[in-house]
Amino acid sequence: MTSSEHSSAPEFNSRLERRRAFSTIFKNSCAILSWLCIGVLGFLLVHIFSSGWEWISFDFIKNAPSRMPHKAGLFSALMGTIWIIVTTAAIAIPVGVSSALYLEEYAKKNRLNSFIEINISNLAGVPSIVYGILGLTLFVRFMKLGPSVLSGALTLSLLILPVIIIASREAIKAVPNSIRLSAFALGATQFQTVFHHVLPAAMPGIMTGVILALSRAIGETAPILMVGAVAYVSRAPHGIMDGFTALPIQIYNWAREAKVEFEGLAAGGIIVLLLVLFMMNSVAILIRNKTQKAQS
Amino acid sequence: MTPVDEAKKTSEKELMNKRPKSTKPESKISSGDKENDLRNAELKGEGVVISYGSDQAVKGVDIAFPSNKITAVIGPSGCGKSTLLRAFNRMNDFILGAKVEGSLMYKDMDLYDKNIDPVEVRLRIGMVFQKPNPFPKTIFKNIAWAPQINGYTGDIAELVETSLKRAALWNEVSDRLHDSALGLSGGQQQRLCIARSLAMKPEVLLMDEPCSALDPVSTSHIEDLMLELKEQYTIVIVTHNMQQAARVSDYTAFMDSGNLVEFDETSTIFTNPKEQRTEDYVSGRFG
Amino acid sequence: MTEVVAATFRQKTKKSKLIEEGVRCGIFLCALASVLTTFGIILVLAKEAIPFFREVSLVDFLFGTKWNALILPRSFGVLPLLMGTMLIVIGAGLIALPVGLASAIYLSEFASQRVRKTVKPVLEILAGIPTVVYGYFALTGITPILKSFNDEIPVFNALSASIVVAVMILPMVASLCDDALKAVPRSLRDGGYALGSTKTEVSLKIVVPAALSGIVASFVLAFSRAIGETMAVTLAAGGTPKMTLNPLESIQTMTAYIVQVATGDIEHGSISYHSLYAVGGLLFLITLAANLLSYKILKKYREEYE
């Protein structure tokens, strides 16, 4: 049954060789395009590391930003980022996880709750700069919190809230119903069931989602640029009402400078940022893998 | 009632009257025929071993499917009958880790020869699946798709009509060929899938439990269809339903745990099997 | 004895009922936070844009072709900004949508598990890189390459921003299309194969059409994401709003303009300041419309396979 004999009834002009060849070409083209993505990532990383590696040093981490490239450092930016992220976490995690618990464990199917759900999906798609506008107007000006760590944290919290809620809901949904039922059967109230049984069971999934949301927040520039840029700050914050700068903002500022050295500094800053993100994501993945193994 | 509904009702009534009262199959084949049929069988397998990874699903089967006859393959769940069937049109190629050994031949050609394109195999050996799987396209497109891809040189509309008539579906859908196939009932969808396979003019039709997802009326439609089709096609049907095997098939193969236990004329298998295991299975003692 | 027991139980119920209600209210309020956020956004944008629209008519804003917000003589036609955004978005789409779809087809239809295990994490990493990094990459990595082809190309140009935004939305397209393709049931592919067709034919003519609603929805979502992209275009595309279709020129997007006003020395309360909200409002509405469209497409045209 080679293609020289007719492989099917005579009415068909199957041209199998041609179709087979086309199939292979198509498959290979798609493969090339996929591997292209890996190539781009490689190019990006190589480019950044080659520019920035020489700038990485202890001084780099220790110093404050400066007009002179060789004296410039990340310290204020790092501290700013840490202050903001910790504050953001303190706000967003309780609110986000509570919202998820409400929607999954308490809410009945009524119009208000559907409305809440729709809102969350919509908010997940709003550009981060719109959150920046909201933060600038509401927190910095209207609530007179000024360009402070608190304003920045509140803004970022609103930004990552939908992410935390969606991820937490998934984690809570994944808790087997049998746990709830057995708790109820033993006479537990809803509060006890949810907070003593469901929440701990969902915790690994929630933590993974939270870490990923926070790592997204660390990289966000536009919202905190809007909030904090009203004041130019070069020192590390000492309280949540202080002005701040942050890692991505510092990178942005350096990238805009004309002097060539600042290009390298920016790359150095990016390396630090990517390392932080890498560590956070690895922790999240580790947690996810550990729980998957424990469950199977 | 629309004409289509009326037609359906009448055909249902006719079926009820046509059904033979006893399930005992009549002896259709004499033993001399059997020798001939086996000798001239074009689709056969020797020493077929099929494994998924380290798991052996089919453990060395020698079988021949007589041409222009219906062969039923029966056996308990997991005995390997579907796996064996799928080997004959190389559908196992899509299962990760599946390995087919032995020689599977059609018209003295090795189906697994390195030079043979599996697509060619499937052009001559068609398959109908357990659950009807029409494409989410129109009825017309479902049937016309494969012929068009394969460069059908004749009139497509005619081909669609012929195939639907052969599958006994034409009367029910002739006025809505361009409606979605997903709007058909389960039985109609399965007949559509049969029409779709027939449109490619295969020589062999493999049917993997084609009626198990259908109601009794649709099932009997399809069984009647099979009896008509066997004049032109070689049909192999895997089935769980022993009554069905007894009703439609000329030959029956009984498999258990990956082995072919017995192969014989259907009447023999069901009334006078040679193996004790076969006897136990057909009398319902297990499986 | 029983009285003691009964009393303990009764007390417990009263206290726990209070906790129950308290907790319920508390977390309900948290859930409301999201609703409040939406209202907050709409309120803020509307309230601050009103002073702008008292001076500039809606028609002039939406259809004017000159955007000169910061220097006299001022004009506030948003089309240059809109066009700048669209130039980048369409440019990015022309790259990312086909490549993303092709990658998704490769990963779901052809690739082995091993390849999937390598490529999918790479896509996730690409998706997680902050946009400011992409902006830097466009400025220092892509533009020099473009310049090596043609030295006339300015440092700020739309093309390098488009390329980089394409890389940013590509993982999203690939991932969502992969999900859509994987959702097509196996039996449909089997039916196609059994009729004598090649893998590519089944992929392109059966699986992709069946998954079309998911694919289109992913395109619209990627489009929405590209529109809202800020840092990469701010760094790479420039700050000169103009009506042009030439990707080799420097332009300004809506998002970049918003950053410029917010970080610049614009007098608070001036019309230039309020123009920020008008542009922001337009941006919000466009992305909202795109997100709703994508949701509707998914809902309305989702193929039923059964």
Domain parsing of chain A, residue ranges: 16-55, 58-295
Q: Indicate if the pLDDT at residue C176 is higher than 50.
A: yes
Write phi, then psi, for C298 (nearest 5 degrees). -60, -40
The verdict on residue B176 lying in a domain is yes
Query: Are the CB atoms for C164 and C213 separated by under 8 Å?
Result: no
Question: Looking at the predicted structure, is the pLDDT value of residue A154 above 90?
Answer: yes
Better pLDDT: C302 or B185: B185
Do the chains contact at B117 and A3, CB–CB below 8 Å? yes
- Could you tell me which chain C residue has the CA closest to the CA of B94? C190
B126/C contact by beta carbon, under 8 A: yes
Per-residue confidence (pLDDT) for residue B32, from 0 to 100 = 62
**How confident is residue B25, by pLDDT bands cut at 50, 70 and 90?**
very low
Distance CA A21, CA C105 (A): 18
- Provide, as residue numbers in chain C, all residues whose Cβ is less than 8 Å from the Cβ of A51: 140
What pLDDT does residue A5 have?
A: 41
Segment among B180-184, C44-48, C60-64 with least mean pLDDT: C60-64
Q: Can you give the C-alpha Rg of chain B in angstroms?
A: 19
Contacts of A16 in chain B (CB under 8 A): 117, 119-120
Measure in Å the smallest separation between the Cα of A13 and chain B Cα atoms: 5
- C-alpha span between C41 and A13 (Å, rounded): 62
Contacts of A263 in chain C (CB under 8 A): 140
- State the best of B42, B115, B152 to mutate against chain A, taking most chain A CBs within 10 Å: B152
- On chain B, the residues whose CB falls within 8 A of the CB of C184 are none
CA distances from A276 to A210, A218, C69, C130 (A): 15, 9, 39, 12
Q: What angle do CA A238, A240, A243 make, to 5 degrees?
A: 70
B58 strand-pairing partners: B50
Reply yes or no on whether the pLDDT at C14 is more than 80.
no
Q: Is the pLDDT of residue A183 over 80?
A: yes
- Do the Cβ atoms of B243 and B226 come closer than 8 Å? no
Instruction: Identify the weakest region by mean pLDDT among A210-219, C111-120, C206-215.
Output: C111-120
Euclidean distance between the first and the last CA atom of chain B, given in angstroms as a whole number: 44
Closest CB to C190 among B120, B126, B129 = B129
* Residue in A34, A106, A130 closest to C119 by CB: A34
Residue-wise pLDDT for A54-109, tens only, equals: 887 877 777 777 777 777 788 888 888 999 999 999 999 999 999 999 998 888 88
The token pair that represents B40 in the structure block: 């001239």
The CA-atom distances, in angstroms, between A239 and each of A84, A231, A243, C152, C207 are: 10, 16, 9, 49, 56
Q: Which residues in chain C are closer than 8 Å to A99, comparing Cβ atoms?
A: 27, 30-31, 33-34
| CB spacing of A121 vs C259 below 8 angstroms | no
Give residue A27's pLDDT: 93
- Give the single-character DSSP code of B94: G
The gap between the terminal CA atoms of chain A, to the nearest Å, is 48
* Residue whose pair of structure tokens reads 């880790």 in the numeric block: B97
Q: Is residue B31 part of a domain?
A: no
On the question of pLDDT at C60 being above 90, the answer is no
User: What is the percentage of chain A residues whose pLDDT exceeds 70?
Assistant: 94
CB contact under 8 A, C113 and B136: no
**pLDDT given for residue B15 in this prediction:** 47
Report how far apart, in Å, the C-alpha atoms of B36 and of each of B31, B32, B141 are: 9, 7, 41
Quick check: B26 pLDDT over 70?
no
CA distance A120 to B283: 61
As given in the structure block, the two tokens for residue C47 are 């309230």
| Domain CATH number, residue B152 | 3.40.50.300
How would residue C89 be classed by pLDDT, with cut points 50, 70 and 90?
A: very high
Judged against a pLDDT cut of 50, whether residue B27 lies above it is answered with no
- Higher local confidence (pLDDT), C3 or A112: A112
ipTM: 0.88
A69: DSSP letter:
G
Residue B54 lies in a domain: no
Strands B234-238 and B204-208: parallel
Class of domain A58-295: mainly alpha
Which chains would you list as touching A if contact means 3+ CB atom pairs under 8 Å? Answer: B, C
Letter string b/e over residues C21-32, b meaning 16 or more CB atoms within 10 A of that residue's CB: eebeeebbebbb
In this prediction the pTM is 0.83
Output the pLDDT for position C37: 92
| Coil/strand/helix, residue B268 | helix
CA distances from C162 to A23, C99, C127, C250 (A): 31, 14, 16, 12
Given a cut of 90, whether residue B235 has pLDDT beyond it is yes
Which tokens sit at A202?
Answer: 């969902």
- The strand pairing partners of B238, in sequence order, are B73, B208
Identify the pLDDT of residue A6: 39
Confidence of residue C69 (pLDDT cuts 50, 70, 90): confident
The chain B residues in contact with chain A (CB within 8 A) are: 106-107, 109, 115-117, 119-121, 123-124, 147, 149-154, 200-202
Q: What's the domain range around B148?
A: 66-80+117-282
Inter-chain residue contact C135 with A133, CB threshold 8 Å: no
- C12: part of which helix (H) or strand (E)? helix C2-55
List for chain C the helix, strand, coil content (%; round to 5).
Answer: 75, 0, 20
Sheet of strand B234-238, all strands in order from the earlier edge strand to the far edge: B125-128, B204-208, B234-238, B70-74, B251-256, B259-265
Question: What's the rounded mean pLDDT across residues C259-281?
Answer: 85
Which of A128, A158, A255 comes nearest C37 by C-beta?
Answer: A158
Closest CA to C167 of C209, C214, C130, C202: C130
Torsion angle of C-alpha atoms A161, A164, A169, A175, degrees rounded to 10: -150
Chain B environment of C303 (Cβ under 8 Å):
136
Does B91 reach chain C within 8 Å, measured CB to CB? yes
B133 — pLDDT class (breaks 50, 70, 90): very high
Rounded Cα–Cα distance for residues A163 and A186 (Å): 34
Query: Cβ separation of B133 and C193 shorter than 8 Å?
Result: no
Best of B143, B149, B205 to disrupt the C interface (most C CBs within 10 Å) is B149
**Range in A5-14, C181-190, C251-260 with the lowest mean pLDDT:** A5-14
Residue A247 and residue A218: Cα distance in Å, rounded?
A: 8
Supply A41's token pair. 């990532």
Neighbours of A64 (CB within 10 A): 16
pLDDT at A235: 78
Tokens of B184: 């058909």
By C-alpha distance, the chain B residue nearest C185 is: B133
List the 173-192 stretch of B: residues with Cβ below 8 A of C: 182
Does position C218 have pLDDT exceeding 50, yes or no? yes
- The number of angstroms, rounded, from the C-alpha of C163 to the middle of its chain's C-alpha atoms is 16
What is the C-alpha separation between A100 and C2, in angstroms, rounded? 41
For residue A20, the distance in angstroms to the closest alpha carbon of chain B comes to 9
Among A28, A165, A221, the strongest candidate for a mutation testing the C interface, having the largest count of C CBs within 10 A, is A221
B60-69, B180-189, C57-66: segment of lowest average pLDDT: C57-66
Residue C88 confidence (pLDDT): 93
Distance from CA of B202 to the nearest CA of A (A): 7
The pLDDT > 70 percentage for chain C reads 94
Higher pLDDT, C70 or A182: A182
pLDDT score of C306: 39
Residues A207-233 have a mean pLDDT of 85
- One-letter amino acid at C147 equals K
Token pair recorded at residue C90:
């369409």
* Cβ <8 Å between C210 and B197: no
pLDDT at B19 over 50: no
Among the partner-chain residues A2, A13, A20, the one whose CB lies closest to the CB of B151 is: A13
Give the model confidence (pLDDT) of A186-199 as tens digits: 888 888 888 888 89
Residue entry with tokens 């309360």: C269
Residue of A3, A4, A6, A8 to mutate for B, most B C-beta atoms under 10 A: A8
CB of A93 closer than 8 Å to CB of A164: yes
Q: Which residues contact B240 (CB under 8 A, 6 or more apart)?
A: B74, B77, B209, B212
Least Cα distance to B100 among B62, B47, B172, B49 occurs for: B49
- Cα dihedral angle (B121, B127, B130, B134), rounded to 10 degrees? 110
Residues of C numbered 252-291 whose beta carbons fall under 8 angstroms of chain A's beta carbons: which are they?
255, 258-259, 262-263, 276-277, 280, 283-284, 287-288, 290-291
Structure tokens that stand for C72 in this block: 């006299």
Residues of chain B positioned with their CB less than 8 A from the CB of A12: 123, 147, 150-153, 200-201
Give the total number of structural domains in chain B: 1
Q: Using the Cα atoms of residue A198, residue A199, residue A200 and residue A203 in order, give the sign of their dihedral.
A: positive
Q: Which chains contact C through at least 3 pairs of Cβ atoms less than 8 Å apart?
A: A, B
Q: Quote the CA–CA distance of B78 and B159 in Å, as a whole number.
A: 38
The residues with which B262 forms a beta bridge, in sequence order, are B254
Q: Tell me if chain A has a CB within 8 Å of the CB of C204.
A: yes
What residues of C are in contact with residue B96 (Cβ under 8 Å)?
113
Question: Tell me, what's the pLDDT at A107?
Answer: 81
A12 touches chain B (CB under 8 A): yes
The pLDDT-based confidence of A26 (bands split at 50, 70, 90) is very high
DSSP state of A55: G
Which residues from chain A sit within 8 angstroms of residue B201, using beta carbons?
Answer: 8-9, 11-12
- For residues B207 and B127, the answer to whether their CB atoms sit within 8 Å is yes
Q: Which residue of chain B is at minimal alpha-carbon distance from A23?
A: B119
CB contact under 8 A, A8 and B200: yes
Q: Is the pLDDT of residue A1 over 50?
A: no
Separation CA A200–CA A295 (nearest Å): 14
**What gap in Å lies between CA C105 and CA C125, rounded to an integer?**
20
Residue C184 backbone phi and psi in degrees, to 5: -70, 125
What is the overall mean pLDDT for chain C?
Answer: 87
C187 contact residues in B (CB cutoff 8 A): 129, 131, 133
Question: Residue A12 carries which DSSP code?
Answer: B
CATH says C67-301 is which class? mainly alpha
When pLDDT is averaged across residues C255-267 and rounded to a whole number, the result is 85
Task: State yes or no: cis peptide before C73, omega within 30 of 0.
Answer: yes
Does the pLDDT at position C28 exceed 70? yes
* Nearest CA distance, B165 vs chain A (angstrom): 19
Q: What is the pLDDT of residues B149-166, one digit of tens each?
A: 888 888 999 999 999 998
Q: Can you say whether the dihedral through the CA atoms of C257, C259, C263, C268 is positive or negative?
A: positive
| A55 CA: distance to closest CA in chain C (Å) | 16
Shortest distance, CA A90 to any CA of chain B (angstroms): 48
Total residues found in chain C within this entry: 306
Name the residue of chain C whose CA is nearest to A252's CA.
C132
When pLDDT is cut at 50, 70 and 90, the band that residue C284 belongs to is very high
In 3D space, the residue among A177, A202, A215 whose CA is nearest the CA of residue A100 turns out to be A202
Count of C-beta atoms within a 10 Å radius of residue C122: 18
Task: Please report residues of A whose CB lies closer than 8 A to that of C288.
Answer: 122, 125-126
Per residue in B185-226, pLDDT (tens digit) is 989 999 999 999 999 989 999 999 999 888 888 888 889 999
CB B49 within 8 Å of CB B83 = no
Which pair of structure tokens corresponds to residue C38? Answer: 């939406």
**Interface contact C144, partner B, CB < 8 A:** no
Nearest CA in chain C to B119: C196
Is residue C299 within 8 Å of residue B130, measured between CB atoms? Answer: no
- Which residues lie across from B51 on neighbouring strands? B56, B99
Beta-strand ranges (E) seen in B145-247 are 204-208, 234-238
Instruction: Give the whole-angstrom CA distance, residue B31 versus residue B162.
Output: 36
Integer Cα distance of B274 and B169 in angstroms: 40
Residues A98, A194 contacting (CB under 8 angstroms):
no
